Structure 1
Amino acid sequence: MQNVETLHQEAMELVDRAVLARQQGNAAEVANEVAKFARAAFQKEREAADAVANHLDLEPTRSVLHRSAAVLALECTEVREAERLIGRALAGNPPDDIANELRDLLIEEIYSRRQEIA
């Protein structure tokens, strides 16, 4: 579990760096830096979610990590990966409030993006 906590902490530090980069300079100058931090954060958070995916007894940690990884996947325009992460989270036993947040994310972000593409 220590490795999961470390991965999550590293991911959140990268998110903080992306937010700070976004606040600096004009968008064109920092876009690559923001994308780099967001991608690295997503990879670490997905790795943390993967590590607990089969541990259904680790709720709400399991579903929270999956939700966080899904949000970061969307930030990286990895819509299909976000959908997969949400599905995996809902396939477990998330608390009702987190399950509702996951469903909202699925409907409001993923399905709406798929309609825009179609």
Structure 2
Amino acid sequence: MSTSDNNYRFASSHEWVKDHGDGTATIGVSHHAQELLGDVVFVELPEEGEDITAGAVFSLVESVKAASDVYAPVTGEVIEINDALEDNPELINEAAQTEGWIAKVKLSDSAELDNLLTSEAYQASLED
């Protein structure tokens, strides 16, 4: 999947946010992150209704290589989790920025999205 979609923003810690334009957003880990992780074998999902804070751990992804914390790129309330990851954690490897999403959130402050990297800036940071 191309990361050139203008609705995507990225944290330097390799999480993505897709802004739906209605005060909600979807969060997951970037294609680059899943490549670094290797084969994903388990995802610890947040709870629906849970409040998450930008910069704080809200999920955990375990691969055959390591367990990695997933940091919330924005602040908000988890309104939906990707239950499919419980039985098929490899969705993160197969489609990190589509079917492999982790959670949908109601944003506390959509202005936080402006603090994240654009797709172009994120791609450039990977080349440094």
Give 1 or 2 for the bigger CA radius of gyration: 1
Q: Which of structures 1 and 2 has the larger relative contact order (alpha carbons within 8 angstroms, sep 6+)? A: 2
TM-score range, shorter chain: under 0.3
Higher helix share: 1
TM-score normalised by length of structure 1: 0.25
Higher strand share: 2
